[in-house]
Structure formats: structure tokens, C-alpha cells
Amino acid sequence: MNADNRRLGRLRSGQGEIANHVIDEFAAGRMSRRDFLRRGTIVGISLPVLGAVISACGSSGSPSSSGSSSAAAGKPGATIKAAIIVPSGAINPVTVADQGGLDMLGQTGEYLCLSDQHLSLRPVLATSWTPNTKADVWTFKIRQGVTFHNGHPLTADDVVYTYKLHTNPKNGSSALSAFGGVLTPSGVKKVDDSTVEFHLAAPNGHFPYLTSSDNYNMIILPNGYDPAKWQSTFVGTGPFVLKTYTAKQGATFSRNEKYWGTKALPAATEFTFYDQQTPQILALTGGTVDVVGQFSVAGGQQLLNGSYNVIRLKSSAHRELSMRTDQSPFTDARVRQAVALSLNRPAIVHALFKGYADLGNESPFAPVFPSTNTTVAQRAQNIAKAKSLLSAAGHPSGFSTQLIGNDVQEIGEYAQIVAQAAKAIGVNINVKMEASSAYYGKATFGNSDWLDATMSLVDYGHRSVPNVFLTAPLETINAKAGTGPWNAAHFSNSQYDKLAQQYVAAIDLSSQKQIAGQIETLLLNETPIIFGYFYNYLSATAKNVTGAYPTAIGHIFLNQAAKS
């Protein structure tokens, strides 16, 4: 055995069975360096060990612990001013379900781990995590020496309280979109003051992502804290503390001088809320703000002319065009397929994103996911076939219907493109666009245009793994089991439900790809939702600002931002 093999053997001896399987797959050349880094962080292999394995296997480079597209280079002590979309409701960790709200949660709250710009996991309030052999029990070690802004020391009790709060269906947490069928309150167990175990309802190969910033509600709260009061305190463990919060207007924060980690560079941050993208861009170009948390190419072209720092992240962020499978005429899959076939996706991507997006193919498997099965053929525009399907479904002259959409970024333009395309097959779509507060409503069935409309066009933020996209909007609705909470299509298919659960349980990448192919094929046939594209996440800063760190799900972290 040579020195590298002996070194690799020593590294394996300190890992669990699943982690060793990942190491072996990489050593055998069956996994790319990028996939090894992502998969390794999921199963709890530390960054130093990942780097050592890569070195022992003769692969150049080392794992990144940063991933920021804009490294901090300016002086500390500045006030960084940011523009973001207005939160749609109260900033309550249990109920937040929109980008503006999650952005606010992340300013002072922290997660067990961070899903970074490379879709890898980094420790935050958890220092490590490991699965058992079946991946149905995950053990997390909780960071010591951390203090909440109210002086309360962080312990396992706070983590247990937070997770029991969010996994109890009676509390109506938005995080149930991720936890439904995965974790119940009884599965959250304290081992000791620094250790928590999560006993899952079924094996889950991606569970740590559900404890990360991807599951944006899951900032850790003090034990017993009333989340309805959070907006008045923004209590958390993060690098900033609340100064002021004014609903619909903005918020200000100051540096947390008692922060457990690296102290924030800015002395303060100021957030201004906007209903639309255009005034955010004008604020940046006019020098009123330093950072725009997110912008789209449509309407934001002037930020791409080289005069601003643009941070571009490949992502799984997308729009879902749902058609009510329980309401005529969309009860017939042929009608749904016909609408999908009317769309010219390459032209849409060019018109709305100038190439800053990937084509969608009626499933949530974005190109950015390693498990996406690329052997499934891409759906292309076919007007003749669409008309034939409509005729066979009993609609030779087409039909009329309404589409209600969330009026943010390019969604309004996309809705008009969909309506125009549908005219070519005889379908008349009346488009109605609503502000986020009206569109989402209470985000529950019977109380939300998002979930109740015959056709609904909604924004879905990025996730680093497709689990939430596979479950929340597509699994059969079952309030008792907590499944399908975002199923605006009211899709119900037992074969799909089985495949989705098989994918979630799969641990190795080859199994995930095989199951993904079956899911992609099924959804092409059923088409309850049109996934037209997956767009790049774009943030922008003034040229003299460095260190802003967006994530593709919508956070904008400014703790390492600076001005030169």
C-alpha cells in the first residue's frame, strides 16, 4: 500500500459507514470532485477531511470554505444600505413564506448549518452531524459558547424547542413544507446539552439540508420563546442585532459586539423595502443604496453593463405554473400537456433572461442538481401536437380560463408570454397579477389565490436539493400527514408519491439519478405543473462595495461587507 492509500485508510477509520461509502465512490473515480464536496458535507465529513481525501486521491485543489463571489476588501465600520423586496407579512419564524421575510430572519437569526453558494453545507450553530447506517437517525453536535441577544446561552434545549415548534402541525409552520412526512415532534430528542438526535419517519439522504438556511424558517429560537413576538425583538445568535423595524418600510441593524464568531465588518446595516424591482434598481444607480439583494434580467439590464458588481449564482430557483388537476378543463392531462407544448422555452429564456437561465422540463430537477437525469428528452414547442391533444380531449375550439400570478420580478412578463403562446392553440388566458400579500393570502387552502386559483404562477426560491420541490407542491394533499401543503395543482398520484419518497430516502447518487429519471418521465406525462426555466440568481452592489454574500434561496448576508 502506498503512502496516499495508507493516508486514505486512516481518514476512513474516523468516519461512519455512509461517509466511507462516499469516500470510496470518490476514490474509485465514480464521483466528481464537486459532487464529492457536496455529498461529503451532507453526510457530515468535515472540510479538513474532505481536503485530505482529495489530496490523498491525487485531485488538485481543496474545498472552499467561503464561496463568496465578492470577497471583502474595504474598511470596516461602514453602514451598508440594502434594497430588498418588502416582506409580505409579519416577521414570524413560524409563518414566513416569502423572500423579504426570510431575508429578515437571516439578519439576526442563525441556522444549524448554511447551504452556501456552491450548494455545500457549512457548520454554523451545529459543529458536526452524522447519520446512522439507514440515514433515519441524524446526530447533531451543538456549538458551545454561543449566546442569544437576550443573554440566554445556546444549548440543545433551544434546538429541541425550535424543531418541536416547527414540526408540530398545530402550529402551521411554513417549514412543514420540508418536514411533512419527514420529522415529527416526537422524533426530536435531546441527548445531552450539546447533542440532539433527529429520528426521522423514514430514511432521508439529504436531511441536513432541512436544518440549513435552505429551510429558512429554522433559525434557532430560545427555549420557550413566543415566535409571534419575534418581530419586536429579532432575537437570535447572529452577527447583527435589531435597531429598528418598520413594517412595509425597512429595518436597521447594528453590529453584535458579543457575537460568538468573526465580528461583522459593518457597524450597521440599513434595509429599505420595495414592492417592485424598478425602484430598487433606481436606488442603486442613484446611490441611495449599496446593494440590491436580487434582481432579474428583465428590467435590470442596466446593472449588467459593467458599472456594478454582479454576483451570479447557478440555481434551482424557478416559477411554477400550476393547473388545477381537480378542475375542468385541467382534469385531463392532455389539456395540461397542450398548454406546455405551446411554449417556446429557448425564446422565453432569451427574452426574460438573456441566457442567464436553464430550460425547465416539467419537473423540479434543475440542471444544477447532480441527481438530475439528463437522459430524459427535453420538451419542445409543438403547436400541431398541442392542438391535436386539445381536440382529443374535447376542446377542438379551445377554452377560456384565468391565471393569477405573483407580481414580482419577471413573473408578469412571463404570464403574458404564456397567455400569448396559448392563443396559438385556441386557449384564452385572462391574466391577473397580484402583490405578494394578496396573492399568498394566508398561504392555506381556501385562503390563498396561490393555492386556490385554476392556474397559478408562483415564484419558488432556490434549494440545494430537490426534496422540498418534490414534496410540498406535488405530493398528494393530506393535512393530517402534513403532505402537499403547497400543492396548488391539487395533484394526486400514488405512483408519484411512492417515487418521491424513494428519492428522498436514497443515499447514493446513482440511485437518486435512476429514480429521478422515473419522476421526470411521469411528470412529463402528467404535467400538473409547467417548469419553464431555472434562472440564475443575480445580486448587485456598487463598485466600491465588497463582501456581500447572497444565497440563491434569497438571503443577503452583509456581515463581511465593506466599502472602499
Cell numbers 465593506: residue: 562
Q: What pLDDT is recorded for position 39?
A: 66
Q: What is the pTM of this model?
A: 0.79
477 pLDDT higher than 60: yes
Residues 195, 140 contacting (CB under 8 angstroms): yes
d(CA 39, CA 513): 14
Find, among 387, 485, 465, 454, the residue nearest to 427 by Cα.
Answer: 387
pLDDT grade for 414, boundaries at 50, 70 and 90:
very high
The 10s digit of each residue's pLDDT in 134-171 is 999 999 999 999 999 999 999 999 999 999 999 999 99
Sign of the C-alpha dihedral computed for residues 507, 511, 517 and 522 taken in this order: negative
The 10s digit of each residue's pLDDT in 311-334 is 999 999 999 999 999 999 999 999
Give the residue with greater pLDDT, 460 vs 231. Answer: 231
The SS3 of residue 138 is: strand
Q: Give 172-208 as a 3 state SS string.
A: CCCCHHHHCCCCCHHHEEEEECCEEEEECCCCCCCHH
Q: Which residues pair with 392 in a beta bridge?
A: none
Find, among 82, 209, 281, the residue nearest to 466 by Cα.
Answer: 209
CA distances from 365 to 373, 464, 488 (A): 8, 11, 18
Mean pLDDT of 523-552: 97
The 10s digit of each residue's pLDDT in 437-447 is 899 999 899 99
Q: What pLDDT is recorded for position 313?
A: 94
- Phi, psi values for residue 527, rounded to 5°: 45, 55
Which domains can be identified in the chain, with CATH numbers?
3-56 (no CATH), 87-232 (3.90.76.10), 243-314+537-556 (3.40.190.10), 318-534 (3.10.105.10)
The 10s digit of each residue's pLDDT in 39-78 is 677 777 776 777 777 766 765 433 333 334 444 567 889 9
- State the average pLDDT for the chain: 91
